[in-house]
Structure 1
Amino acid sequence: MIEEMEYKTTIKTLPFLFLEMKKAANLVLQGLKDNEIKEKALYDNIFQVNTETRRKEIASMVLKRIKVLDEVLLHKLVHGDIETGKLIVLYSIMKTDRLFFEFMDEVFKEKLIVKDYVIEDKDFNIFFDRKREQSKKVASWDDYTFYKLKQVFIRILYEAGLISNKRNRKIIKPVLDPSIIEHLKEKGEKAILNIFLGLN
């Protein structure tokens, strides 16, 4: 359950990773195991980053996100259209990052419901203040951490195609492939489906 996950800030340095997710999903569908994908990341530099530390970090995060995708979603990520692939990556982030999921649930979804299609600075401030009150761990983070988290959340929304640009942040309502909607219903993913569809 997402609610049982700890609040973390790792998303600050590992935001959307769409191409990396697509590459790894393809390898999973080919039958490669986690350790083989890690080796490919490390020795073949499949994610095309400079340092060994970064290769390990990206491989670790990508595999964590891949774990929450079943074969149907992996297949759609690899072989489907780009828009669907990006929403599947967004789904994997919501499933593995509690703070981002809660932002999408409490801010993004609410915006869709009330038809207020701009995400403003104050929306982030109110959200982070509320989290500070709810969690000692979040309350212990410094201001710079929240500044970075805000930047990363905006970048993820932009790269996922859910806001028009990073400055005025006008919301673009996600368009989900009907087969994905059905699949997520079957999986019991009501909370995440409601975020995508703007439903209570």
Structure 2
Amino acid sequence: MLQYTSILKSRPYLYLELKKAIELVIKGFTIDHIKNKAIEENIFSVNTEARKREIASTVTNRISVLDDFTMDKIVNGSLQTSKQLALYSILKTDRLFFEFMREVYKEKILLNDMNLTDKDFNIFFRRKAEQSEKIASWKDYTFYKLGQVYKRILTEAGFIRNSKKEIEILLQIIEEEVMEHLKNIGDLSYLEAMLGEI
């Protein structure tokens, strides 16, 4: 099982970077090649050496949980499908974000309560801190930052509409072919986290 980390606070959605790296994989580049290109050619257009390494590491980690079908859909599928599968790659590599989607986002949909509030985030993090010593050791600022990043990821992926007044959950429609594929490879729990119910 994945360990809890707060790494997402500095490595958000990275949709375009993921897509660019997958295009290279499809062309036959290895993960090591991509990491080298990130550092030597700055393919992700970032300012510092540390950031080049950070993004390369995050993006290649997300690629490692994808198969040929999902990679092809991210590069060649519709924008909506592509963004949904980019989010799925985060669900598969970040345990805390996955649990947020399963325990808060999905539950909201099941209860037909289509608004997320700051209180929902706070309660979730507090509950997790009670369950995990590691999470309990994090500073308040870490939880604040994670909440901000979760909102940003969900907004960029098209899963919420975040206005000044409220955060509205946007129900997802996932292509039948993609749903069948995720079910067949045993990833139903990720599908449910994104859809609420199937």
Pair in the same fold by TM > 0.5? yes
Instruction: Name the one with the larger strand percent.
Output: 2
Correspondence for 1:14: 11
The AA in structure 1 aligned to 2:105 is F
Cα distance in 2 for residues equivalent to 1:22 and 1:15: 14
Give me the whole-angstrom Cα distance separating, in 1, the residues matched to 2:140 and 2:112: 30
Alignment partners' CA distance in 2, 1:97 and 1:197: 18
Aligned to 1:88: 85
| One-letter identity of the residue aligned with 1:170 | E
Give the deviation of 1:108 after TM superposition: 0.3
Q: TM-score, normalised by structure 2?
A: 0.97
C-alpha contact 1:154 1:166 (8 A) present in aligned 2 = no
Q: TM-score, normalised by structure 1?
A: 0.96
Unaligned 5+ residue runs, structure 1? none
Length, aligned pairs only = 197
Partner of 2:180: 182
Q: 1:43 to 1:166 in 2, by over 3 A?
A: farther
Quote the RMSD (CA, aligned, Å): 1.0
Please, which of 110, 114, 121 is the counterpart of residue 117 of structure 1? Answer: 114
- Is 2:47 aligned against 1:47? no
> C-alpha displacement at 1:196, in angstroms?
2.3
Does 1:102 find its partner at 2:108? no
Measure, in 2, the Cα distance between the counterparts of 1:119 and 1:56.
Answer: 34
Tell me the amino acid that sits aligned with residue 197 of structure 2: L
Partner of 2:168: 170
Following TM superposition, the consecutive aligned residue runs of length 4 or more in structure 1 with deviations greater than 4 angstroms are: none
Q: What corresponds to 2:154 in structure 1?
A: 157
Report deviation, 1:195.
1.6
Q: State percent identity of aligned pairs.
A: 52
2:182 and 2:140 mapped to 1: Cα distance?
Answer: 36
